[in-house]
Structure 1
Amino acid sequence: MSTPLGPGADHFTEASIRRAAWLEAARTAAEAALRFTTPAEFAAARGALEGLSDRFRRLADHYTTAEQPAGLTWAARADHAVHLYARTAIERDDARTEAARLRARIAELEQRDAWLTALESAGVDNWSGIDHALELHRSP
């Protein structure tokens, strides 16, 4: 499918035009399928047109994504890219901060586990106050 823009067209505009053309073809095929309503002999034709319409929609989805602003100026595209990068960078920094916090918590828990294991090995579970400590631990 060729676009009317020619070889000097930018990628976003060309993709937008191709998407619009595929969507128009899908709409036309869907409308044609609706014309075959009654006789069973037209069921195959209707099914073929509906399938063609679905394939055209999938082809249209191939040309743009939600992250590609179609039909915008280069300034608007640059602004979109900056916002997208900033959002990604913020999410990455938040994830790194959360990962560092979780690593510190894991290290703290590993130290506590090592200390409790050492206490158990030393026989603290034979201590006369172990039942009271367990009650304190289990109570809300």
Structure 2
Amino acid sequence: MTGTFTTRTVDVTTGSTETMHDLTSACSVFLREVAHGRDGLLNIFTPHATSGLAVIETGAGSDNDLLAALGEVLPPDDRWRERHGSGGPGRDHMLPALVPPHATLPVVGGELELGASQSVVLVTTGRGGADGRVRLSFLG
């Protein structure tokens, strides 16, 4: 049997503050619709210069710890510069170097293979944007 490739985008409202948006449910819904019990890979990608994707435990404090750590590594102050030299969201543009804009995860029996406490989250430090887009792609 040859593999199939299916892709779609999911729109996410992130707000204008540092946040994590849990994508696990959206990934599961997508896989129920397209994987049909097959094994394969789910690729998740955000095409935004100020966001990244992480697999992390949520709800127990790790999500806030990650945002705090990013605040220490990428302080929200005026040291960051855009390429053209003016002050701007240069700090936010550094985020994908630390939290990559992509993740590839195993799918087994049509379901996302995550650990018991793991979630897939969109991480954003952007202070100006309120919307994001994430592409989900299944190969199986």
TM bucket normalised to smaller: under 0.3
Relative to total residues, which structure has the larger strand share, 1 or 2?
A: 2
Relative to total residues, which structure has the larger helix share, 1 or 2?
A: 1
TM normalised by structure 2 equals 0.25
TM normalised by structure 1 equals 0.25
